[in-house]
Structure 1
């Protein structure tokens, strides 16, 4: 099974470039499932019903979230019925709406996609290791094909998580920091790992935000309002993971960048 994972969709710019290139990526690579992180889809913070449907129309099969899940209150109106939208499973278990994982049927196989959030330099949440251990034990009764979106700040926490669950999940793909890392690998027991898949949206902003206000904040430390850079050039960050259908172990992981410095080559 081949999985295409697309990194954090940032604002309208991210939605537009996804609409442009996702059909071409599918035509070139033929993934059986496409996972897209959408936690920044609406003006850089959160997601609303319109953006959710737009990402699905662009070709997403599962949409994951992260620390900005609740920043747009509109999500509460539809997350309970949105079967293809998942938020971190370690958000105050039983106290918030939505689900932390989903299972999708692909021909005769089932793929589980799990969303978790780290705790280092992040808002408080339940222990992702403990939650994942229970959840993965449950999912392994249904499928060996398990992909985790681990939404976290530090590389060390992402690496620790992937090593802890090496051989128990098919892939751990990091999101949140918006810069694609150069450490795609397969761990000894068969788990594919990438610290961060990167961002999809503004290429000339600072992590997707307009440069001027971010720079001003660093220079004078005064409060300022960050806005998504919707006018500049754009880029897309993604990765492909090939899994063994029987064992669930990863066979290959490779990164994808599409931007002015890395043009898409069909």
Structure 2
């Protein structure tokens, strides 16, 4: 089984580019299941019902979010009625779920979304929250994949090693820069620090360059506007052995 994870989709350019490329990527890599992080898909800040529906119609099986999960009002409806999940370590009474289970090709696949705390929100511990859920669902799931939306590389690596052997794969999102450290950890869990961004290439993490440069020069706040121009899609494909349900190969995607 091959599972595709698409990196943070940024703005309308990233959404439209994903829609134009996804069929070709699915065919090229013989993909069976698709995860997409779309927390920046609505003008770089959150997600809307229209965008979520477009991605689902385009064969995305589950949409993950992050620190911008609740930036748009209609996300509540999405979390309750669509395969859209928010970080599992939000407080207990937060609307929505932090995991999603779907059967594909005879395999029950669970996707868990979690968020780091270093330089992000002061929410519940992602390590404990994810492990609790893993222990609850591991007997009824064949494959567990975790999207860890986090800023700090150290937190991501520690998180993956904490879950090593308990989940099939951990991939990082949020920084918008694809890393080249993909590997299989000693316990068998596949890991990559960040799968990258799907959005405008000539930008600073998806935002117009002059805005970000001015912020660094002046230290003054300024509204972000999404960059335009040529886009690219970044992500990874996890190749999973059908007999062991373990990842045997990780392929970085750049289209």
Q: Normalising by the residue count of structure 1, what TM-score does the alignment of the two structures yield?
A: 0.94
SS of the residue corresponding to residue 137 of structure 1 reads: helix
Q: For residues 64-112 of structure 1, what are the alpha-carbon distances to aligned partners after superposition, in whole Å with 9 as ceiling and x for unaligned?
A: 0000001112212332111x1111000112x211110011111321000
Contact 2:165 2:189 in 1 (8 A): yes
Q: Tell me the distance in 1 between the aligned counterparts of 2:68 and 2:30.
A: 31
The corresponding residue for 2:202 is 204
Q: Structure 1 runs of 4+ off > 3 angstroms?
A: none
1:163 to 2:141 alignment:
no
Contact 2:183 2:191 in 1 (8 A): yes
1:153 to 2:147 alignment:
no
1:105 to 2:114 alignment:
no
Q: For residues 220-256 of structure 1, what are the alpha-carbon distances to aligned partners after superposition, in whole Å with 9 as ceiling and x for unaligned?
A: 1111111111x21111101010112343221011101
The count of corresponding residues between Structure 1 and Structure 2 is 255
Q: For residues 150-201 of structure 1, what are the alpha-carbon distances to aligned partners after superposition, in whole Å with 9 as ceiling and x for unaligned?
A: 0000111110011111111000000000000010111111110000000001
The corresponding residue for 1:239 is 236
Give unmatched runs, 5+ long, in structure 1. 259-266
Q: Tell me the distance in 2 between the aligned counterparts of 1:152 and 1:36.
A: 16
Contact 1:144 1:169 in 2 (8 A): no
Q: Following superposition of structure 1 onto structure 2, how do residues 26-175 of structure 1 map, counting pairs within 5 Å?
A: 26-82=26-82, 84-93=83-92, 95-175=93-173
SS of the residue corresponding to residue 172 of structure 2 reads: strand
Q: Tell me the distance in 1 between the aligned counterparts of 2:198 and 2:87.
A: 20
**TM-aligned CA deviation for residue 143 of structure 1:** 1.6
- CA RMSD, aligned part only? 1.0
Q: Tell me the distance in 2 between the aligned counterparts of 1:21 and 1:249.
A: 27
Q: Tell me the distance in 2 between the aligned counterparts of 1:214 and 1:179.
A: 16
The corresponding residue for 2:25 is 25
Deviates more, 1:243-252 or 1:22-31: 243-252
Q: Tell me the distance in 1 between the aligned counterparts of 2:205 and 2:182.
A: 21
Q: For residues 196-226 of structure 1, what are the alpha-carbon distances to aligned partners after superposition, in whole Å with 9 as ceiling and x for unaligned?
A: 0000011111000011111111111111111
SS of the residue corresponding to residue 90 of structure 2 reads: coil
